[in-house]
Amino acid sequence: MARSKDALVAGSVQSRAEPGELTPVMLQYLSIKEEHKDEVLFFRLGDFYEMFNQDAIEVSRLLNLTLTHRGAAPMCGIPFHAAKIYIARLLRCGKRIAICEQIGDPKAKGLTERKVIEIITPGTALESEYLDGGANNFLACLCLQKGRAGFAYLDVTTSDFFATSWYESDMEENFSKEIGRCHPRELLLPQSLEKNEIVQNTLLQNEEIAVSYYPDWNFDQSLSYKRLLAQFKTVNLQGFSLDEKSPEVAPAGFLLDYLQKTATTNAPHVTGIKVYRDSQFVIMDDSSRRNLEIVENLRDGSSQFSLLECLSHTETAMGKRLLRSWLLYPLTNVEEIRGRQNHVELFVKNRNLLEFVHELFGNILDIERLAGRVAMERAHAKDVQALRASLENWLKVREQLDSCGFTHTEKNLAEQIVALIKNAILEDPATALGEGRIIKEGWSAELDEYRRIHDNVNKILDDYAEEEKAATGIQNLRIRSNSLTGYYIEITRGKSEQVPAHFILRRALTNADRYTTVRLQEIEKQIGEAELKITETEKALFLELRSKIAEHTNYLLQTAKEIAYADVTSSLAYAALLHGWVKPFVDNSKDFIIKGGRHPVVELHLPSGEFVPNDIEISAEKESKSAYFALITGPNMAGKSTYLRQNALIALLAQIGSFVPAKEAHIGAVDRIFCRVGASDNLARGESTFLVEMTETAYILRTATEKSFVIMDEVGRGTSTEDGLSIAWAVSEYLLNALKCKTLFATHYHELTRLDHPSLKLLCMEVSEEADKITFLRKIKEGASENSYGIHVASLAGLPQSVIRRANEILNTLQKGADSAVSENAGSLQTLQTSAEEKPLEKSVSMPGLFSDEELVLDEILSCDPDDMTPRQALDLVARWKKSLSGR
Ligand code: ADP
C-alpha cells in the first residue's frame, strides 16, 4: 500500500527543513484542521487516512492504533479501504469525523489539493455500517424559551421526526425521561445550557450521547418556523399542531439546519413532524423504565433478560424499531390499544397466516432506510434491487392482509415500482457506477447499441473487412491494429492497383501498405467511445430511474410503516402463542385484576413449568370492593420483587396492545407506571443511594394520579430502621389517602402491617416450614408474613454454619426485645395516620432502638474471635466500644 507522493515530497522537504519547520503538507493539514476543530480530521495521504496531533493521540487510544510521529507531530493512520469500520467505532464513541480527500490529480506537480468532502456525526450518519438496524438513530435538540422547553428529535435515515414540550419547571423529570426513551446518538444544545445543572446531571447519566453546543442566537424561532415551512412545503404548521410560537419550532428547525450544514443533505423525505403530548402515552420516568428492564437490563445494558427479549420475534429492521418504540411509548387510549390487540388476535387465531407472513418478512429488507437513501440520492443499484425484492415479498404478504385493515396504501403503486426496477435493473447489478453493468438490455436502445459495439469489436471489424473484400475483390485484405496507428487495413503490395480511391494510405512497408478509410475511422471512434458511453449512459439512466422512485418516497415510507406494524403485531402474536399468553380486557376503569399472572422474563429463563403463577385484584374505582393498595410482606428471596414487577410489566404489555402472561386479565388503562425497586447507586452524580431513593419517591408522590400504577419495593431501606420505617409508613399513608392510585408496596418492615385503612389489603409470600426445612412457595396469599427467614437465605448463600448458629442466637435475643419495643410504640405509629395534606413527618415518630448499645457491644464481644485478630484490630474494636458506650 502506497503512502502518497505528498508524503514523499513532505519527507524530502522534512529532511531539508530546519528542525521544527513545517512541511507544506503539514501546513495544508493545519489550515484544514483549523476549520474542523470539533471533528477528528481524516486526512487522506495516498492509500491512508492520517490523523495528527491531538486527533492522533485520542484516536490511537480509542481504536488501539499504533501512534507514530511525523517530525514532532504525533500521527496515526488507517488504510482508506477499511475506513468504514474505524469510522463506525469512532461514531460509537460519540466522535464527529471530517473526511478530507485529495481532490486534485495526485499525479500533478506540486502539493495535491485537498478538501473536506463529508462530515459524519453520530446523529447524521447515513451508511448502514454506522447504524444499528434494530434501533432509530436520533439526532436531538433541546431549547428553552420563555419558561418552556422544546425538544425535537429526528432520524434522518427513516424520516421519523418528533417533538414535544414542557414547562421549564418540569425540566428535571421530562428531560431525563425523553432522553431515556428516544436515546439520541447526538444532542445539540444552546450554549446557555452548558451550565444548566439539570441538563448536565442527565447528560452525566448518558455519557454515550455526543453533545455539542451552539450560540443561542442559532435557535431562532422565526427562522426555524420558515425553515420548517420550506421543508414541509406548507403555508403554516397547523397540520402538525404547531404555530409560530410553539416551543417545538426552534429545536426542530435547528435540527434541519444542522443536517443541511453538516451532512449536506436537506432530507427531502422528511415531510412532516409528529408533535406529541405526554397524555398520549403511559408516562414512565427514566428510573422506572430502567428498573423494569424494558428494553435493556440493568446489569450490562443489553437486551438480554429484558422484556424486549421475550417479544423479539420481529423479522424486519422496521419491525424491530417499531417494537422498541411501542415498548417505550405504551398507549393510554383504549380504542387504539384495542385496535392493536385485534390485529394481534387475528394472527393468534390464524397460525397459517402467522407462519406465512413470518417467513416472508424474513425476506423484506429495511425499506424505510432504503427509501431514505433513494430520496437522499445515496442509493446504489443493489439498494434499488433490494427495494424491489422487498416490495415483491410485501405484495405477497399484502394479498393475505389487505382485507384485515393492515394496509391503507395503494397496492398498484408498489407493483409499478417493482415492474420499473425489474425492467430496468439487472438482477445482480454492480454497486458503484462504472464498476460493471447495471441497466438491463432492452431498457435503452442507445445503451444497447453502445454495448453491441463494445461486445462485438471483432465481428464489426470482420464484417467491414468482408464488405471491402467484396467491393475491391482483394481477398487477403486484413484489418489489424497496433497501439501507434490504431486500426488499419493491410493490403499486400501485389494488390496495390486494386486499392480504391477512398483508401487513405497511412504507412508504406516493404511488402504491404497500411490504409485507413473514413468508415474505419468512424468504427474506431465508436469502439473507443463505447466503454465511456456505456458508463455515462448507464449513470444517466440509473439516476433518472432513482429520481423516478424518489417521487414515491412518501408512499414507500408509508409502506414501511405498514410492514413494521404487521411485523410487530405478528411478532406479539408469536410471543403470545409461544409463551401461552392471553388477550387482556382493557378499558377505562381503574381495575387491575389478574388471574394466574407470570413474570414474562423470569418465566422465560426458568425451566418450563417452574414459575408459580400468582393472582392480584386491586381497584381504584370508588365503588369497588377491592382495595387499591396491596402491602406485600415476605422474606427475602420469596418472590416479592418478581410479583411487583410482573404486574407492572403486565400493565405495560397490555397497553402496547400485546397479550399478557396470565390466564385472565382485566386492566383499566393506566396513565403512569412508577417503579421504585431496589437501591440503585448514583455515585457518579455524587448523590447517596438513599438520596436517590428519596428523590425518586418524591417524584412519585408529586406526580402520580388516581389512574397511575405504582410499585414500590423496600422504600426506606437505605437508612436506619427507625427512619426507614417512618418514611415507608408516611409514604404508604400518602398513597392511600391523597393519591388513591393502584399501589403494590413490598416491605420487610413487619410493623407496617399494622397500618389500618379500608383500601389496604395485606398480601404475603407463602412459606412452608416442615421439620426444619423451609421452602419458599412463591405463592401470594392474603395476610402478613410472620418471619423474614433472612438467616435461611444466608445459609442458602453458603455462610459458615457457625455464623448461622450465632445469628439464630442473636435473632432470638433481638426478637424478645423487638416485640416489646414494637408493642410500646404501636400507639405512636398509629398517630401517623394524619391526613395526607398535612404530611407532618419529622418529629411524629420516635421509635427507640430495638436493642440497647450495651446489648450490641455484648453481641460483638461474644461473636468476635480474638485468635483471629491483629493487635491493631483489637485496639480499634475497644476504641469503638468505648465510643458507643461513652454517651451513657
Ligand atoms: P424478593 O423480592 O422477595 O427478595 P425475588 O422476587 O427477588 O424475591 O425472587 C427471588 C427469586 O425467586 C427470583 O430470582 C426468581 O428466580 C424466583 N422467583 C420469584 N418469583 C417466582 C415465582 N413466582 N415462581 C418461580 N420462581 C420465582
CA of 789 to the centre of ligand 1 (A): 14
Choose between 236 and 852: higher pLDDT: 236
Co-location of 635 and 735 in the same domain:
yes
For ligand 1, is residue 642 a contact (CB within 6 Å)? yes
CA of 611 to the centre of ligand 1 (A): 9
On whether residue 453 sits in a domain, the answer given is yes
Query: Can you give the residue range of the structural domain that contains 690?
Result: 585-788
Residue 379 to residues 125, 275, 371, 473, 536, Cα–Cα distance (Å): 14, 30, 8, 56, 18
Task: Supply the CATH number for residue 404's domain.
Answer: 1.10.1420.10
For ligand 1, is residue 646 a contact (CB within 6 Å)? no
Task: Supply the CATH number for residue 45's domain.
Answer: 3.40.1170.10
CA of 745 to the centre of ligand 1 (A): 16
CA of 660 to the centre of ligand 1 (A): 19
Task: Supply the CATH number for residue 720's domain.
Answer: 3.40.50.300
Co-location of 89 and 236 in the same domain:
no
Residue 559: which pLDDT band, with cuts at 50, 70 and 90?
very high
Buried (b) or exposed (e) across 810-840, using 16+ Cβ within 10 A?
Answer: eeeeeeeebeebbeebeeebeebbeebeeee
pLDDT of 825 above 60: no
Long-range CB contact pairs, 19-27, < 8 A, 24+: 20/71, 20/72, 22/71, 23/71, 24/111, 25/111, 26/52, 26/70, 26/71, 26/73
CA of 822 to the centre of ligand 1 (A): 29
What proportion of the chain, given as a percentage, has pLDDT over 70?
A: 90
Choose between 17 and 391: higher pLDDT: 391
Tens of pLDDT, residues 209-220? 999 999 999 999
Tens of pLDDT, residues 759-800? 999 999 888 877 667 788 899 999 887 766 667 767 777 777
Of 249, 276, 303, the domain-final residue: 276
On whether residue 842 sits in a domain, the answer given is no
Q: Is 844 exposed, middle or buried (0-12, 13-18, 19+ CB in 10 A)?
A: middle
Contact 709, 672 (CB under 8 A): yes
Contact 261, 269 (CB under 8 A): no
CA of 617 to the centre of ligand 1 (A): 20
| Helices H / strands E in the chain, number of each | 28, 26
Co-location of 463 and 534 in the same domain:
yes
Tens of pLDDT, residues 830-881? 433 333 333 333 333 333 344 567 767 776 777 677 877 788 878 888 888 8
CA of 640 to the centre of ligand 1 (A): 7
| Closest C-alpha to ligand 1, atom 17 | 639
Co-location of 565 and 625 in the same domain:
no
Number of the ligand 1 atom closest to the C-alpha atom of 713: 2
Residue-by-residue DSSP string for 324-373: HHHHHS-B--HHHHHHHHHHHHHHHH-HHHHHHHHHHHTT---HHHHHHH
Can you give the pLDDT at residue 822? 47
Tens of pLDDT, residues 265-275? 778 999 999 99
| Closest C-alpha to ligand 1, atom 5 | 639
For ligand 1, is residue 332 a contact (CB within 6 Å)? no
CA of 683 to the centre of ligand 1 (A): 28
For ligand 1, is residue 330 a contact (CB within 6 Å)? no
For ligand 1, is residue 638 a contact (CB within 6 Å)? yes
On whether residue 641 sits in a domain, the answer given is yes
Number of the ligand 1 atom closest to the C-alpha atom of 635: 3
Tens of pLDDT, residues 48-72? 999 999 999 999 999 989 898 887 8
Co-location of 234 and 312 in the same domain:
no
CA of 638 to the centre of ligand 1 (A): 6
For ligand 1, is residue 644 a contact (CB within 6 Å)? no
Least confident of 152-161, 239-248, 284-293, 642-651: 284-293
Residue 882: which pLDDT band, with cuts at 50, 70 and 90?
confident
Instruction: In whole angstroms, give the CA distance from residue 357 to residue 67.
Output: 52
Instruction: In whole angstroms, give the CA distance from residue 477 to residue 479.
Output: 7
* 3-state DSSP assignment of residue 231: helix
Tens of pLDDT, residues 573-585? 999 999 999 999 9
For ligand 1, is residue 253 a contact (CB within 6 Å)? no
Co-location of 240 and 303 in the same domain:
no
Number of the ligand 1 atom closest to the C-alpha atom of 779: 23
pLDDT of 18 above 70: no
Cβ neighbours of residue 243 closer than 8 Å, sequence gap 6 or more: 236, 237
For ligand 1, is residue 611 a contact (CB within 6 Å)? yes
| Closest C-alpha to ligand 1, atom 19 | 639
On whether residue 83 sits in a domain, the answer given is yes
User: What would the grid cell of residue 861 be?
Assistant: 464481644
Ligand 1: which of 305, 602, 711 to mutate, most ligand atoms within 8 Å of CB?
A: 602
Backbone angles phi, psi at 379, to 5 degrees: -70, 135
On whether residue 827 sits in a domain, the answer given is no
Q: What is the mean pLDDT of residues 93-105?
A: 89
| Closest C-alpha to ligand 1, atom 20 | 639
CA of 636 to the centre of ligand 1 (A): 9
pLDDT of 4 above 60: no
On whether residue 144 sits in a domain, the answer given is yes
Q: What is the mean pLDDT of residues 643-669?
A: 97
Number of the ligand 1 atom closest to the C-alpha atom of 644: 6
Can you give the pLDDT at residue 552? 96
Co-location of 510 and 610 in the same domain:
no
CA of 662 to the centre of ligand 1 (A): 17
Count of all residues that appear for the chain in the document? 888
CA of 261 to the centre of ligand 1 (A): 53
Q: What is the mean pLDDT of residues 383-405?
A: 93
Number of the ligand 1 atom closest to the C-alpha atom of 634: 3
Local structure of residue 513 (DSSP, 8 states)? E
Of 216, 244, 276, the domain-final residue: 276
Choose between 443 and 862: higher pLDDT: 443
Task: Supply the CATH number for residue 173's domain.
Answer: 3.30.420.110
| Closest C-alpha to ligand 1, atom 18 | 639
Ligand 1: which of 599, 642, 715 to mutate, most ligand atoms within 8 Å of CB?
A: 642
Of 522, 544, 566, the domain-final residue: 544
Co-location of 373 and 296 in the same domain:
yes
Co-location of 771 and 748 in the same domain:
yes
Cβ neighbours of residue 873 closer than 8 Å, sequence gap 6 or more: none
Co-location of 367 and 452 in the same domain:
no
Residue-by-residue DSSP string for 619-657: E--TT-SS-SEEEEE--TTSSHHHHHHHHHHHHHHHHHT
Q: What is the mean pLDDT of residues 227-252?
A: 94
Least confident of 11-25, 374-388, 691-705: 11-25
For ligand 1, is residue 265 a contact (CB within 6 Å)? no
For ligand 1, is residue 639 a contact (CB within 6 Å)? yes
Least confident of 15-24, 183-192, 455-464, 850-859: 15-24
Tens of pLDDT, residues 130-180? 999 889 999 999 999 889 999 999 999 999 999 999 999 889 889 999 999
CA of 219 to the centre of ligand 1 (A): 51
Can you give the pLDDT at residue 266? 76
| Closest C-alpha to ligand 1, atom 13 | 639
Co-location of 491 and 423 in the same domain:
no
Co-location of 114 and 141 in the same domain:
no
CA of 596 to the centre of ligand 1 (A): 15
CA of 639 to the centre of ligand 1 (A): 3
Q: At what angle do helices 197-205 and 171-182 cross, to 10 degrees?
A: 30
| Closest C-alpha to ligand 1, atom 9 | 639
On whether residue 297 sits in a domain, the answer given is yes
Q: What mean pLDDT, rounded, does the chain reach?
A: 86
CA of 641 to the centre of ligand 1 (A): 7
* 3-state DSSP assignment of residue 68: strand
Least confident of 18-22, 612-616, 698-702: 18-22
Choose between 887 and 588: higher pLDDT: 588
For ligand 1, is residue 602 a contact (CB within 6 Å)? yes
Number of the ligand 1 atom closest to the C-alpha atom of 599: 23
On whether residue 33 sits in a domain, the answer given is yes
Provide the domain count of the chain.
6
Can you give the pLDDT at residue 697? 85
Number of the ligand 1 atom closest to the C-alpha atom of 613: 23
| Closest C-alpha to ligand 1, atom 6 | 639
For ligand 1, is residue 287 a contact (CB within 6 Å)? no
Number of the ligand 1 atom closest to the C-alpha atom of 610: 25
CA of 778 to the centre of ligand 1 (A): 7
For ligand 1, is residue 637 a contact (CB within 6 Å)? yes
Residue 366: which pLDDT band, with cuts at 50, 70 and 90?
very high
